[in-house]
Structure 1
Amino acid sequence: MDTDILDNILSLEEQFYKEGYDLGVIDGARAGYTEGSVFAVEKSFEKLLQLGRLYGRALVWNQRLISSGVNEEAETTKVGEGEDSITTDMCNAMPPLHQGSRLAKNIQTLLALVDPATLVLQNTEDAVSEIEERLKGASLKVKLIQRALGETSFGDSSAVDGFAAGEGKSAGDGSGSIEDISSLHVRH
């Protein structure tokens, strides 16, 4: 009889370990699903925010082309009534674009790549890869347009330079990257 009690006590640790492991697996599956969902929302928001920024720049460039009269076919790509007047007013204050048809073609291609009406917003592998490809293509078009206009990239370079935030920053620019030595003090 004494041996049964001791055997039960000795197997108690194994029983608690198994019970704790099973509870951990259930909690981990639930927490993993929640964390994965939050991560997916964050990443999709970042990508669509980048596309939205590029779309805004494309609309401004397109309106500047329309205002300068360089590209008459650019008028086919317009936004809604209220937004169009705001964009037009802002763009009239900017210098018009006096470039060739290659610039107009690049702007039209950029507009086609980032047009929100043509984006597939489904959670499938094909839709995700299509959005990533369109974002990469649009980033390249923005760089081409910027070079043609002599503009530099704006504020958040991740919207133009791809997916890595802070890409293209030089050493000592205060970005906090490992190459940034601007905060180091010289010892004498």
Structure 2
Amino acid sequence: MDSDIFDGLLQLEDEFYNEGYKLGVTDGAQAGYAEGNVFAIEKGFEKLLEFGRLYGKGLVWAQRLVVSEQDQTAEYGANIVSGGAEELSVEPAVCREMPCVPKGTRLRKNVRVLLEQVDPSTLSLDNTPDAISEVEERLKGAVLKAKLIQRAFGERETASDSIHLQSAKDTQTSGDGSGSIEDSSSLRVRH
């Protein structure tokens, strides 16, 4: 009979463990869902912000090409970039104050491709694996195309550019370049 009294006490620890485990699983599922939503919103915002930044740069570059072409041929209204599909409008006075643009069809084609890649009207916002991989591929291609265009325009990469566009020399710290153990010039800053 004594063993029946102690059996209840011994099972009490298992009952508390199982009850705590079930509560932890329930709370973890709710907290995980909330944290997952916040993480998804943050990452989605970062990617779409990058798309918007690249789209804005592309529109300015396109207008600079239009203004440069207009200044050279005095034919206003020519839309070089989109082939006449729609008129791009950035204040031309701002673009005229910028340095002259090198002439070339490859540059026009690169700007057109960049604008096609980051066009918000063609961007799929579905939460499917295919749509997500398409957005990531388009962003990678657009970042590379923007870097190529930026070099063709002779513009420097600035600190306000995306971390995708930063070069290794921008992230290095100062050092003597000797390569010794005390030299920190070859170390990269992690973000």
TM-score by length of 2: 0.78
Correspondence list, 1:124-135, <5 A: 124-135=128-139
| Cα deviation, residue 30, structure 1 | 0.8
Task: Tell me the equivalent position of 1:60.
Answer: 60
- Listed one character per residue, the Cα deviations across residues 60-117 of structure 1 (whole Å, up to 9, x for unaligned) are 10010111117742263545xxxx35x4343232223132111111111111111111
Task: Assess, with a 3 A threshold, how the Cα gap between structure 1 residues 113 and 158 changes in structure 2: closer, same or farther.
Answer: same
Separation (CA, whole Å) in 2 of partners of 1:50 and 1:22: 42
* 8 A Cα contact 1:158 1:167, kept in partner: no
Tell me which moved more, 139-148 or 12-21: 139-148
Separation (CA, whole Å) in 2 of partners of 1:167 and 1:22: 50
Task: Assess, with a 3 A threshold, how the Cα gap between structure 1 residues 4 and 17 changes in structure 2: closer, same or farther.
Answer: same
Task: Tell me the equivalent position of 1:171.
Answer: 172
**Gaps (5+ residues) in structure 2?**
71-77, 175-185
Task: Assess, with a 3 A threshold, how the Cα gap between structure 1 residues 160 and 60 changes in structure 2: closer, same or farther.
Answer: farther
Q: Structure 1: which 4+ aligned runs deviate by more than 4 Å? A: none
| Cα deviation, residue 144, structure 1 | 1.1
Task: Tell me the equivalent position of 1:185.
Answer: none
Task: Tell me the equivalent position of 1:35.
Answer: 35
**Gaps (5+ residues) in structure 1?**
182-188
Alignment identity in percent? 51
Task: Assess, with a 3 A threshold, how the Cα gap between structure 1 residues 132 and 78 changes in structure 2: closer, same or farther.
Answer: farther
Separation (CA, whole Å) in 1 of partners of 2:79 and 2:150: 21
- AA matched with 1:101: T
Q: Within the alignment, does 1:101 sit opposite 2:108 as a pair? A: no
- AA matched with 2:68: S
Correspondence list, 1:15-34, <5 A: 15-34=15-34
Q: CA RMSD in A?
A: 2.5
Task: Tell me the equivalent position of 2:81.
Answer: 74
| Cα deviation, residue 22, structure 1 | 0.5
Task: Tell me the equivalent position of 1:137.
Answer: 141
Name the count of aligned residue pairs: 169
